[in-house]
Amino acid sequence: MGLRLYNTMGRTMQDFKPITPGFAGFYGCGPTVYNYAHIGNLRAYVFLDTLDRTLTFLGYDKKHVMNITDIGHLTGDADAGEDKMLKTAQERHESVLEVAKFYTDAFFKDLDGLNIIRPDVVCKATEHVPDMIELIKRIEANGHTYMAGGNLYFDVSTFPDYGKLANINLDDLKAGARIDVDQNKRSPYDFVLWFTKSKFENQALTWDSPWGRGYPGWHIECSAMSMKYLGEHFDIHTGGIDHIPIHHTNEIAQSEGATGHKWVNYWLHNEFLVIAKDKKAAEAGEGAKMSKSSGNFLTLQSLIDKGYNPLDYRFFLLGGHYRKQIYFSYDAMDGAKNARQALVQRVAKIAQSAGGISALNAEKTYKKGEAADCSGLSQKAAEYINEFKVAIENDLSTPVAMSRLQKCVKDQSLEPSEALELIRRMDSVTGLALVKSAAALLKETPVCNGTVAVSHEGDSEAAEIDALVKERTEAKKARDFARADEIRRNLDARGVVVTDTPNGPVWERK
Which residues sit in the known binding site?
Answer: 29, 222, 247, 251, 292
Closest CA to 67 of 312, 243, 206: 243
DSSP per-residue letters across 84-140: HHHHHHHHHTS-HHHHHHHHHHHHHHHHHHTTPPPPSEEEEGGG-HHHHHHHHHHHH
Instruction: Determine what percent of the chain falls in helix, strand and coil, rounding each to the nearest 5.
Output: 45, 20, 35
Please provide the DSSP assignment of 363-417 as one string: ---PPTTTTT--TTS-HHHHHHHHHHHHHHHBT--HHHHHHHHHHHHH-TTS-HH
DSSP-assigned letter for residue 181: P
Sequence ranges of the binding site for Zn(2+):
29, 222, 247, 251
Binding residues for ATP: 292
Look at residues 25, 27, 40, 26 and name the one whose alpha carbon lies nearest to residue 110: 40
What CA–CA distance (Å, rounded) separates 438 from 351?
Answer: 8
For helices 416-430 and 39-57, the axis angle rounded to 10 degrees is 120
Residues 108 and 122 sit within 8 Å (Cβ to Cβ): no
For residues 265 and 237, give the distance between their C-alpha atoms in angstroms, rounded to a whole number: 8
- Nearest of 431, 434, 428 to residue 56 by alpha carbon: 428
Alpha-carbon span 456 to 439, nearest angstrom: 17
